[in-house]
Amino acid sequence: MRRIALITESSARPIEAKPAYLFYQGKQSRWINAVISYMEAREFPRKDIYFLSFHGQQIIGYEDIVTPYPKQKYHPRSFEAESLAKKTVDLILKMNPLPFVEIHAGRTIADPLKRLFEKHNIMYRIYGDGVPLGTKPSYYEHLIDEENKERKQKGIQREKWKITSLIGNGSPEDASKIVTTFGEAAHLYNIESNIQELKDYLGRYNRKMKEANKARREMEEVMQEEDSTGILNRFISQHQTLAELHAHHDFELIKYQYGKSMAKFILYLIKLNYVQLTSNKIGEALLRTQIALMK
């Protein structure tokens, strides 16, 4: 739902023309300064922020240029407040759909706005209602702190989703990417123990892969001596697990004919099986990481 903000004018104003959001800021305008800071902290759309001025019954855009005008000698009369409130509501009623309205102003203008909003079913909120004028800056500073905390949490949540999006098939490559990219910031996401677990499994995986590659090279060296016809090479290319190998009806014959090569091949399959088991452990660790990131 679209939101608009209505901010009261400040009595402490500069002597030169400036955009409204600068014109109404100053050392003597701590409340309005805080309101503007709150708008900026939320990245509130500037086109939806208006200042209300009793001078000429003006509704001034956030970035509109305001030229200096005299300070009002007396407190605005009720009819002046009613008139400005009506003009403001007339503007809002032209908006389709009707927005939610934030009121950052004292009771002089807030009360007649409230009555008209209720009459026309316009949703609103009066910020700092009942808060003494002297403590309004502190009230807004608290709101800004809460906003910053919420934005930080949302930022962390988006980063968490980004991490989980990198976990595709739960592969060692996924784990390596997460450890490399987010390892240093693990404390922000409360996954320090998960990252350490992934590091440990990746270290184990790399060692097992190194052992498997070594076993394969040794197997290939022996096969060059024993398998001059290429029969064994064709045979083992069709078997990638011990189960497949032992299930073949020619296993015993091939093992008898190519004893050394088959021994090396079986050792290689054992080493490869350890690689796969460690890879499965990494997948389980990645799942635990995903679950931790969802909390």
**SS in 3 state form for 19-60?**
EHHHHCCCCCCHHHHHHHHHHHHCCCCHHHEEEEECCCCEEE
**Same domain, residue pair 17 and 111:** yes
The answer to whether residue 137 is domain-embedded is yes
The answer to whether residue 160 is domain-embedded is no
DSSP helix/strand/coil, 9: coil
The answer to whether residue 159 is domain-embedded is no
* Neighbour count for residue 227 (Cβ, 10 Å): 18
Cα gap 88→122, rounded to integer Å? 12
Which pLDDT score, from 0 to 100, does residue 113 have?
Answer: 95
The residues, ordered by sequence, that sit 6+ positions from 87 with a Cβ below 8 Å of its Cβ are 57, 59
DSSP string, 125-144: EETTTT--GGGHHHHHHHHH
Range of the domain at 192: 166-293
- Residues facing 65 on adjacent strands: 19
| pLDDT tens per residue, range 108-137 | 999 999 999 999 999 999 999 888 888 999
Cα gap 266→215, rounded to integer Å? 9
| pLDDT tens per residue, range 14-68 | 788 999 999 998 878 889 999 999 999 999 999 999 999 998 899 999 999 999 8
Q: Which residues of the chain have pLDDT under 50?
A: none
Longest dimension (CA), the chain: 112
The answer to whether residue 268 is domain-embedded is yes
Of 112, 127, 154, which one is at a domain's C-terminal end?
A: 154
- CATH number for the domain harbouring residue 90: 3.40.50
- Number of domains the chain is built from: 2
Of 154, 178, 211, which one is at a domain's C-terminal end?
A: 154
**Same domain, residue pair 9 and 112:** yes
Of 154, 176, 197, which one is at a domain's C-terminal end?
A: 154
